[in-house]
Structure 1
């Protein structure tokens, strides 16, 4: 029977267990240059030592003005590759596989002098009004995603995740709430996302899977729901997405902020619905910190992988602890064996 510590394979990605560390922004770049620091190294490598099967490095942006803040990671320059490669190589040393989330914040780029977006609509009354991208600029943006993915591959990652959730640029394009364009990228809301997917696939080995994170629902009046997200995910699947990472919100409140996600496993039904509708592998996320609960999501075949965010922020060794609680076999670092007694 499948469980949280069953191995998992998709294409050439082989995971020792089904525990994922999801991307969580650290806002810890020190010189505003987008280059990973010693903090990022310790942050990710400690979770590899702690037993996670897959670590997805935080939102990493395709251009300087694509960052949420000036303290976010970037991959718009070859100079940013070595620090990421150092992290990836170290995580591999401890048995974890590594992905990276490639993104652009669009209208939610807080520190950009003038954010860009599909349409000139501010996120809220406290946000800057973005400049609408021209058609040619949209095409240039696809190229920026392509180049960033290529750099990630050079850094040695095992999987790419495109950020199409939480109200950032790809999300802004496929939502009729934020995309009011009249050109080809407005008439076809998934065109930008599909072109980014195709560009990414062109930089990736054929054996490397592509993940896309989506918001399955927008918690805002006039936003889309599950039926719509199933349909745009179908288009993205046809374009080349191999697995979806199912979150919610972003235009309006992000569910992780506690509105409306006030109960455990609140996003799992959406993950299960997309998995069943598209017959596609999915990652479930959202208040799954309790080991027995995370294990049940796999055992009940509601998702293929489980992402544990805040639980891993609290405890880098969450995965080792979960294996102890669930009485599952896991390789514990020799130096830590005394701390994880076997039952």
Structure 2
């Protein structure tokens, strides 16, 4: 779940900046999730093929030192959008998990926070977030969307409101079950000891415990367990879905050609706004677990599914670069960054 901000590749190709004729450059931010600094060719890797990211590095600036506000997704992304420490916006992680696990969670980035997307929108930019959000969705109802990307300065959203869970893809294990198992051990032990103790003291005459009360207690425990089991077996259906703006368009989420779909949405946004200054944040699901890759990349790298995912993400970067090169004049007014 960690978002390690270890790498930033920045490239600004504003050819006319010397004449100060460009006041509103187009901005593209490409964000990877859990990508290691040693997994790219521009940082010395010789076994993973990342020519498109390497080209950005060669033409731009690469950094090896960067301070992350948090090692976890939710708080670090809040800091990234606001430029403030997560604790200032109430997004610091105090629990063991430290991030949002459920789409129905009522928490999220407060709508009064000032994000760079809000500021750019105020300046006339078209703004879009494609991919992972993980900063909350609703406050008091299932459709108030107070924490949604569209409430934080983005005109368009296509992606996941939460994150890429292993639970969302069969055969990848479970984050939720592992946490529940650890969290239930102590309550179950306490419940069992309490029930046995009440029965013992009742039969030895120290305390008369109405069997009706024990029955109600057992009924409550049973119902709670049934609800928990139901939720676990329906986790993917309830929590893993794809949205376009405020609409759910795929539930449960399918990983088939998912990176291609995200890339297509990003390219279409650029094409729609060639005559307007724009901000595009393309927040990849790669290479956070659950690991996945399309058929065109599966089994092609030297490092299993993880390597396949890295190379597929590099392909996506190349597709964007190809489009930007094809659209006349757009590269002259472009500033791009790739934080990981």
Settle same-fold status: TM greater than 0.5: no
TM-score by length of structure 1 reads 0.32
> Which structure has the larger Rg over C-alpha atoms?
2
TM-score by length of structure 2 reads 0.32
Q: Considering Cα pairs closer than 8 Å and 6+ residues apart, tell me whether 1 or 2 has the greater RCO.
A: 2
